Amino acid sequence: MSFACRVAGLFLCCAASLPVHASAGPVSPPVTITDDGPTYTLGNGYLTIKVDKITGDLVSVKTPKTITPNVELMGFLSGHHAGYWEQSPVLAARREATITIDPATVSGERAEVSVKGWSDGKSILGQRPTAAGQEGGLIADLEIRYTLARGDRGLYTYAIYTHEPTYPAGSVGESRFGFKLNGKVFDWLSIDDQRNALMPTGADWDAATDLNMKESRRLTTGVYKGRAEHKYDYSADQSKIPAFGWSSTKEHVGLYLINPSFEYLSSGPLHFELTGHIDDGDGGDPTLLDYWRGTHYGGSVLNFADNEPWTKVVGPIFIYVPTGGSPDALFTDAKRQATVETSRWPYPWVKGVDYTPVDQRASVRGRLKLVDPQAPKAKFSNLLVGLSFPDQPAEPRAPRPPRTEAGPTASVEPLPAQSAAPAAPKLDASPASPATNSDPDHPAQLNAQGKRVNRGTYVPPRPTGAPAFRMPPQPITWQNDAKHYEFWTHGSDDGSFTIPNVRPGTYQLHAISDGVLGAYDAMASVTITPGQKLDLGTIEWHPTHFGQQIWQIGTPNRSAKEFLKGDDHWHWGMYIEYARLFPKDVDFTVGWSDPAKDWFIYQVPHDTDFKPDGRDQGRATPWTIHFEMPAGQQPTGKATLRFGLDGVSTRSLAISVNGKDTGTMTDLFGAGASMIRDGIEGTWIERDFSFDASLLKPGANTIVLTVPAGGVANGICYDVVRLEVASTQP
């Protein structure tokens, strides 16, 4: 069973007896399309949607089944309005809006419209693109499609990105399909069992007090008065939320995003991302986001070279709009619908783009066998097996040109005269807090509550002479690849697996499992041909060891969930809580201490400021580990501390053994900034630190790990810490 099928299949039992409309009726009206000039209008009797023919935005969604019939579901108050793809064809060299499925030719069964922009070798985003990682603009063609079928209570959208072989090098920045919804309608957010509740209002957000990020404020009004509201507290593992979205306690309507397959998303089966939240701009519209190229919790990479042919179809994503029930009933129904959509994948009606039909897709099966002399009885737990594009080394980066005092002023391409794109919101470019960003010649704009409009994010001052940080080039792996498709499945406890619906191509096989430090990464590539049923047979997985394991803190599971607060971390400022919970810092005795009580999810600077807004500095934080070595034998050879890391935002970790400084580990780049975003999972990395085993001694020993002083979110989120010793004694 595929990864998506297995997850969505958990909800099959929810299909019956829901107080919502199970279908639009046995005789549903045909689908229609109307060309309104600036927009297309599509309708099927249950839904009426409008698509902007210039921007490709979904500017209106209505249904007569709401309590107020045909109330507008889209929001136009904050951020990018209504439904939208992150990139838009509005500034493309050429652009065309077409009907790609005419309902008149298919007996009213389905309608589809397209808005496409051609790059012709130039960026389609103008000179100042706003997406993260999009500094060079988007030198690629972009087509956006929307599809509506007879009797459906939702619609589909998908985007096709194409870099032609005549185009110069470029990249795709942060990318997603998202919504700003009507805050007068939607008031309930459903992400998973933990995050399924009534939400603050946009007015509550506007009246709130600034904290240390523009994404977080302390509420001063409403039902959650006193709570810190932070958009990252609704982030989730994308593969574990088959449906997520907003609903209305007043209008009895929901709007949910469903990924029928995860093959087009980035970074494999454990990718954490933003999902839904109150918009962080003034007005606070209900927001819903489906990232396919994410930049949070480790992020992903998508670059293309000069004259490189490349295309990717993102989606179709299903936008489900059930009506008639409570938020809980609607959410349950949406999860049931996710099962239905997964069973239909790949969709047979997708035509004219690089989308492999089901009869051309392959299946790959096999069985992994765990071979570990140090754990001969170990079995697989939560085994995940996947096929991804073969790993690629990091490409060298050109040196950064020296900064000059003044540079040329960039020109900005004006919007075409016929564009219906909304004006970009006014941004506050200053990172300073409101208290330090006053300018008598340019007074700040205030909203209706007297708060500064588009308040900035506090950035701690950098020490004098400290170099600006620049991310080094990254190798491409399944954990950060957004350019290609990936196919994953849950394996059985005996190691057997089947990966269905694989597109033809060349792949590398990978596997991860709880309890096994590291991953299985096949050395040879696997070539998949159309319609193939490939059996890989038995594959031996030999986990890496650097010697005999002496102790381990945590469980290798690419998460800090087994540590203190690992089951209750979705709250702003957990890095501030550390100092209160551990006033004398972590002091952990292997074999005696309990990781769930005595090891915190974050090792961060110990707060010394205790400011209410989180703009705190902290002292260096030592964590002490006590353990026993076998008595009567002096250790020799090489000892290795192995660190599985779920998040890193510090540049160094000092390590001492039995009071002797053994050095500082500085090669920490690669994991995501989980702590500042209240997460315990990110791009997982392993970092190993070796020292002379003679520093150890028979009997009692101590290792101290120290995070340097700094901002209180600048630390480490551990998955696991393990000590192994390779003795040279005969």
Q: What is the 3-class SS of 431-457, one letter each residue?
A: CCCHHHCCCCCCCCCECCCCCECCCCC
Beta-carbon contacts of 397 under 8 Å, excluding residues fewer than 6 positions away, are 472, 473
Q: In the prediction, which pLDDT does 465 show? A: 58
CA distance readout (Å), 16 to 11, 329, 332, 333, 347: 11, 11, 10, 9, 25
Q: How many CB atoms lie within 10 A of CB 29?
A: 14
CA–CA dist 394, 475 (Å, integer): 4
Q: How far is CA 715 from the centre of its chain?
A: 20
Dihedral sign (CA 702, 708, 710, 715): negative
Burial of 442 (0-12, 13-18, 19+ CB in 10 A): exposed
How many CB atoms lie under 10 A from the CB of residue 131? 19
Q: How far apart are the first and last CA of the chain?
A: 49
Give the whole-angstrom CA distance, residue 437 versus residue 444.
Answer: 9
Helix intervals (H) in 83-189: none
Length of the chain: 730
Q: Is 161 left (phi over 0), alpha (psi -120 to 50) or beta?
A: beta
In this structure, the number of other CB atoms found within 10 A of the CB of residue 552 comes to 17
What pLDDT, on the 0 to 100 scale, is given for residue 297?
87
- CATH code for 362-393+475-541? 2.60.40.1120
CATH 3.30.70.250 fits 3-355, yes or no: no
Of the candidates 310, 306, 302, which has an alpha carbon nearest to the alpha carbon of residue 168?
306
| The predicted structure's pLDDT at residue 40 | 98
456 Cβ contact partners less than 8 Å away, ≥ 6 residues apart: 214, 428, 429, 430, 431, 432, 433, 434, 437
98 — phi, psi (to 5°)? -140, 165
* Residue 333 DSSP one-character state: H
Amino acid identity, position 177: F
- Give every CB contact of residue 691 below 8 A, 6+ residues apart in sequence: 638, 639, 641, 655, 657, 662, 663
pTM for the complete prediction? 0.88
Whether 311 and 205 have beta carbons less than 8 Å apart is answered as no
- Nearest residue to 243 via CA among 58, 491, 4: 4
Instruction: Please report, for the chain, how many H helices and E strands are present, in that order.
Output: 5, 43
Closest CA to 143 of 86, 88, 103: 88
**pLDDT at residue 468, rounded to an integer:** 53
Q: Enter the DSSP assignment of 392.
A: B
In the chain, which residues have pLDDT < 70?
Answer: 1-26, 127-136, 395-472, 730
Report the mean per-residue pLDDT for the chain.
Answer: 87
The torsion region of residue 86 among left (phi > 0), alpha (psi -120 to 50) and beta comes to: alpha
Cα 647–651–654 angle (5° rounding)? 100
Q: Tokens standing for 7?
A: 């997850």
Domain ranges of the chain: 3-355, 362-393+475-541, 548-726
Please report, to the nearest 10 degrees, the dihedral formed by the alpha carbons of residues 326, 330, 331, 337 taken in order: 170
Was domain 548-726 assigned CATH 3.30.365.10? no
**By three-state DSSP, how is residue 12 classified?**
helix
Question: 């957990």: which residue's tokens?
Answer: 574
